Chains A and B, each alone.
Chain A
Amino acid sequence: MTEAPSIIAHLKRDDDGKPYLQGAHCGACGHTYVGAREVCAQCYARDRMQPVSLAETGKLYAYAIVHRSFPGVETPFIDVIVDLEDGAHIKGILKDVAPEPENLAFDMAVKIDYREVVPPGSNEKYLAYFFVPAAI
């Protein structure tokens, strides 16, 4: 059986097939980016970017509860901005929480959950990442 392809370039699998999010850490200013890159947008340093695997836990920074999306997309869902523990910032969907503002607290602990899903408009499964509440 072949592995489901990744839905986005910076979501990778290691040699054992285990998923991880690819990031880049600037050795000059210390900022951590989602995805690979060559030059730091913050401090302009070249040749100081180190590839890293991004942290899998973090805190909820902000959210939106999406009730209307494009045709074929199931709603509602919770769109979140998460500050990962390593300082990277990433967008995703928070699962396993009912989509109501009273269920969402700023800085609530979340963790990444890799899941295979069929994206809207596709018939194939893709590897994706989601967030779920983390036990404290």
Chain B
Amino acid sequence: MSDVYIVGVDMIKFGRYPDRTVPGLAAEAALLALDDAGLGIDQMQALFCGNLGQANNMIGQRMLAEIGQTGIPVVNVANACATGATAFRDAWMTIKAGVHDLVLAVGVEQMGKGLLGGGHGGVSTEGVLGSGTMPTMFAQIGVEHARNHGTTFKQFAKVSVKNHHHSTMNPKSMYRVETPLEEVMGAEMISYPNTKLMCSVNVDGSAAAVLASEATAKRLGLMDRAVKVRASEMSSNPFAARQLAMPDFSAATRLAAQNAYEQAGVGAGDIDLVELHDCFATAELVHYENLGLCEDGEAGRMIDGGETALGGKVPVNVSGGLLSKGHPLGATGIANIYEVSTHLRGEAGERQVEGARMGMTHVVGGGPGMGTACAIHILEKV
């Protein structure tokens, strides 16, 4: 099986674009990624297009209608917050399988403002049998970590301070504003222990990647800026006793992480930077442990010591993360891959993680009574 390389990758600046269309946003990212590779749409052999909000509306085909209808196979992908990463992995698999050797993966989302969650049919149980909002689901996960390890509200809040700081160095981030600790802790409480500044931002966005087999990347002279995909793994939620009451994002993340390290033949100590799924500040600390960046129970100490800030032992979410860069659901997974690739290419400017050779991306999504989708990629500088 051929190794697979990213030969072009880019994203649009995340923001609010109510006057644009989903296929139009997808097309912009696709063209940026093609330009990054120096290739044309006529050279792509397949398209995997991730979008959640309009999953039944053939976004991939409509995107091609805007940039070139070449007749290639199109697969429209929806998989909760792992949508974009799933589209990327599907593209990767076709090259691994030897079916294609040059494939385009796109992730795109256009979102409204406000709380996500709930929305099932029938009489609402919200405020009666609990809350189905995303902030509450992830508040519970933070409180569970506090139960097990004594993690404090202040430690969770520090995640938000860090990621907002990182975003001031990222021109493609939705927000680029410093948020001091007092401001994060004093912001409107949404669902304790997550304040408004500890919740990710609903934005519009798109990101795209061009993947190539090794032979094709070499033939086209694209190895100079290529990024090697060392591991691509996915998981769904393995059985967890409380999952029907409290969706479980940890077991799926641990399973995918373990398999990704095994596939890449590396350990957590080899990873120079991580873009992980900080949909809420509470989630980031839990995932330090799930991804093996520290021992169980050490996540609070890790954020206190600045180990995951730019310049620290293993910088996490130097893009600003979902908390500040924004979280356009279907685009997030490929935007993370863009961020890590940019560091591995040494092109991240002010926020560059010095000497980065290997990075990890992680997304995990799901909802109450639904289940979990997790995707992890390990990428390496060529």
A119 close to B124 (CB less than 8 A): yes
Of B89-97, B126-134, B356-364, the segment with at least 4 beta carbons within 8 Å of chain A is B126-134
Residues of chain B lying within 8 A (CB to CB) of residue A117: 128
**B140 CB-CB contact with A under 8 Å:** yes
Of B23-31, B188-196, B222-230, the segment with at least 4 beta carbons within 8 Å of chain A is B188-196
Q: Which of B130, B136, B189, B246 has the most CB of A within 10 A?
A: B130
| A87 nearest CB neighbor, chain B only | B241
Tell whether A81 pairs with B192 under 8 Å between CB atoms, given A93-B127, A119-B123, A122-B124: no
A68 close to B191 (CB less than 8 A): yes
For A44-77 the 0/1 string (1 means CB < 8 A from B) is: 0000000000000000011111111110011101
Tell whether A128 pairs with B128 under 8 Å between CB atoms, given A33-B244, A34-B244, A65-B191: yes
Q: Per a CB cutoff under 8 Å, which of A68, A89, A126 touches B241?
A: A89
Instruction: Give the distance in Å from the alpha carbon of A70 to the alpha carbon of B135 in the complex.
Output: 12
Q: Name the prevailing secondary structure of the B interface residues.
A: loop
| A80 nearest CB neighbor, chain B only | B130
Instruction: Give the distance in Å from the alpha carbon of A6 to the alpha carbon of B230 in the complex.
Output: 52
A120 close to B245 (CB less than 8 A): no
Residues of chain A lying within 8 A (CB to CB) of residue B133: 66, 68-70
A7 close to B147 (CB less than 8 A): no
**A2 CB-CB contact with B under 8 Å:** no
B130 close to A7 (CB less than 8 A): no
Tally of contacts, chain A with chain B, CB under 8 A: 127
Instruction: Give the distance in Å from the alpha carbon of A67 to the alpha carbon of B239 in the complex.
Output: 31
| A121 nearest CB neighbor, chain B only | B124
Residues of chain B lying within 8 A (CB to CB) of residue A89: 241-242, 244-246
**B143 CB-CB contact with A under 8 Å:** yes
For A80-124 the 0/1 string (1 means CB < 8 A from B) is: 111100000111110000000100001000000000010111100
Residues of chain A lying within 8 A (CB to CB) of residue B354: none
B191 close to A64 (CB less than 8 A): yes
B189 close to A77 (CB less than 8 A): no
**A28 CB-CB contact with B under 8 Å:** no
Instruction: Give the distance in Å from the alpha carbon of A101 to the alpha carbon of B135 in the complex.
Output: 16
**A134 CB-CB contact with B under 8 Å:** no
For B160-198 the 0/1 string (1 means CB < 8 A from A) is: 000000000000000000000000000011111100000
B14 to chain A, nearest CB (A): 23
Residues of chain B lying within 8 A (CB to CB) of residue A83: 242
B123 close to A62 (CB less than 8 A): no
**B38 CB-CB contact with A under 8 Å:** no
**B70 CB-CB contact with A under 8 Å:** no
For A18-54 the 0/1 string (1 means CB < 8 A from B) is: 0000000000000101110000011000000000000
A120 close to B130 (CB less than 8 A): no
B127 close to A92 (CB less than 8 A): no
| B117 nearest CB neighbor, chain A only | A70
A-B pairs with beta carbons under 8 Å apart, 24 shown:
A34-B245, A61-B144, A62-B147, A63-B143, A64-B143, A66-B127, A66-B136, A66-B139, A66-B191, A67-B188, A67-B191, A75-B127, A77-B131, A79-B136, A81-B242, A89-B242, A89-B244, A89-B246, A93-B129, A117-B128, A119-B125, A120-B128, A122-B124, A126-B123
In the complex, besides A70-B118, A93-B128, A128-B128, 19 extra interface pairs with C-beta distance below 8 angstroms are A7-B123, A7-B125, A31-B241, A63-B143, A64-B131, A64-B143, A65-B189, A66-B191, A66-B192, A67-B191, A68-B135, A69-B133, A93-B127, A106-B147, A119-B123, A119-B127, A120-B126, A121-B124, A129-B129
Per CB-CB distance, the 10 closest pairs between chain A and chain B, nearest first, are A64-B139, A65-B192, A73-B127, A89-B242, A91-B245, A79-B130, A91-B130, A67-B189, A89-B245, A68-B190
